[in-house]
Amino acid sequence: MAMAFLVPLALVALLAAAITWLWDYTFMRLVWRPYAIGKDLRRQGIHGPTYKLVKGCKEDIKTMKEETDGLVLDVHDHNYLPRISPHYLKWRAQYGEPFLYWFGPKPRICIFDYELARQILSSKSGHFVKNDPPATLLDVLGNGLALLDGIDWVRHHRIIKPAFAMDKLKMMTTTMLSCAQSMIKELENQAFQNKNGEIEVDFNMQFRELAADVISHAAFGSSYKLGKQVFQTQHDLMAINVASSLDVQIPGLRYLPTERNRHRWMLEKKLRSSLMQIIQPRLASTSRDYGDDLLGLMLESCNETKQGGKEGGLGMSIDEIIHELSLLLTWAIFLLSTHPEWQERLRKEVFREIGREQQPTADALSKLKEMTMVVLETLRLYCPPLFLQRKPIVDITVGGMKLPKGVAVVIPIPIMHREKEVWGDDVGEFNPLRFENGVTRAGKVPHAMLGFAMGPRSCIGQNFAMLEAKSALAVMLQKFSFTLSPDYVHAPTDIFLLKPKFGLPVILRRLD
């Protein structure tokens, strides 16, 4: 009798819970909150495209990007903004700045003011944190340094930072150069087989392999080959998630056995398996000496705090650097291929400071001032990370703008790197000399360069990326001259980061 009475009560409780969830999800999240936030921001003069139930502005963004996807640029035209951000250009012109738009039901405020960006990015009080990543992105990368906040971020940052200190990086120069010279040697052997001493190489792929090789040694030590498998699997997973980023997210759909989900699950299983092949032998060590590479530092931290599962965090920190480093090198080669006067200028600097045959050292690389200028100008024109996002954890006023808790602020790097008022009338041209007196004097405001972000959450791997980029460019300039292949199509695209849509085929010629 009692049992028969309890069953209806349980069903009533479940029904009540379901109704509460539906109310919270369908009405509060999809209807009331967008209405309230939109009304509050309009009072402040912040306008934007109309919110559409569930979809937000995703369909509009997708349509505009599809319309400009076929746009091909001249190789000397660096204004790829209509290809990657037609929606930002349209909405800025239509609604002014800042403007409000909707990524699904989530509000985004796009800003273009450097001082406002500085205040948000330099927030040391912790009022601004990284924006919530999509659940599928967390599946790929885990709660790594780039996605953590608060105490967890402080702990991870403290552990990882020493591995990227300049003294440690100088010690790693030998490894960097060894990987770069191995790549160059292989290319030389291929060129020797051709009578004209020329070969065509897709440097988009070549530099991705080089970056993965270098960083795998740094992160995983003797397990670097398995480490490269980890990075390749993460890359494949990322491609799946980027392809669906503008789709309308239906609750529960990612758990259904669709073809895309089955592929994702297979890759996730492969990723976990590869990571555990690297981690388990170290965890099984009786000496508790996990090694002095980056993985060892992470495992030591996990042991000390009795928290596992941080391997995803390592993957995010390192995978992020791999992609950004390889693309930084890719775009640098593109610019030097289209500006032979600067290619020759850098070659003369390398010969002068290092020599024709000598292996570069960390100290010699630090003397390559003109190369530093070229790398920085590459970051300005073709910065791999395209947008920075932060959200306030409390209602806060910044620069006279009242930001509601949880409303993400978007900082569009490529647009801000092209403001004539800040960078001058030659903003659309490749001019490394603008960095002749350093980063802070390159534009009319000292914090105009956003390539590595700024403030406490600036890129922890920026010194690593700069040193490795200069290492690879130096050894390449010692052996080859290069020009773009006639097959190259200039169509930068934003697949997670800024990439050449059709690769970067380059003609290499041996100097001797």
For the stretch 424-449, pLDDT in tens is: 999 999 999 999 999 999 999 999 99
From CA 409, how far away is CA 431, in angstroms rounded?
A: 30
What pLDDT does 316 receive?
Answer: 40
What pLDDT does 134 receive?
Answer: 52
Question: What are residue 405's phi and psi, to 5 degrees?
Answer: -55, 130
Q: Helices 311-338 and 203-220 meet at what angle, rounded to 10?
A: 140
What pLDDT does 325 receive?
Answer: 74
Is residue 118 domain-resident? yes
From CA 161, how far away is CA 501, in angstroms rounded?
A: 33
Instruction: Give bridge partners of residue 408 from the DSSP assignment.
Output: 108
pLDDT tens figures, 227-254: 666 666 766 666 666 666 555 555 556 6
What pLDDT does 306 receive?
Answer: 44
What pLDDT does 140 receive?
Answer: 44
Is residue 249 domain-resident? no
Tokens (6 digits) for 177: 């150069």
Is residue 411 domain-resident? yes
**Nearest one of 470, 215, 229, 218 to 363, comparing CA atoms:** 470
- Number of domains, the chain: 1
pLDDT tens figures, 252-297: 566 667 777 777 777 777 766 766 666 666 666 655 555 555 555 5
Q: What is the CA radius of gyration of the chain?
A: 25
What pLDDT does 285 receive?
Answer: 62
Provide the domain limits for residue 109: 24-134+386-416
Tokens (6 digits) for 48: 């934007």
Ramachandran region, residue 63 (left: φ > 0; alpha: ψ -120 to 50; beta: rest): alpha
Is residue 396 domain-resident? yes
Is residue 452 domain-resident? no
Report the CATH number that the domain containing residue 28 is assigned in CATH.
3.30.43.20
Q: Residue 202 belongs to what H/E stretch?
A: strand 198-202
Is residue 230 domain-resident? no
In terms of DSSP bridges, do strands 408-412 and 480-484 run parallel, antiparallel, or are they unpaired? unpaired
Stretches where the chain sits below pLDDT 70 are 1-25, 123-126, 131-172, 215-232, 234-256, 271-272, 274-323, 455-461
DSSP 451: T
Percent of the chain with pLDDT over 90: 45
Is residue 291 domain-resident? no
- Residue 459 labeled ligand binder: yes
Is residue 272 domain-resident? no
What pLDDT does 319 receive?
Answer: 53
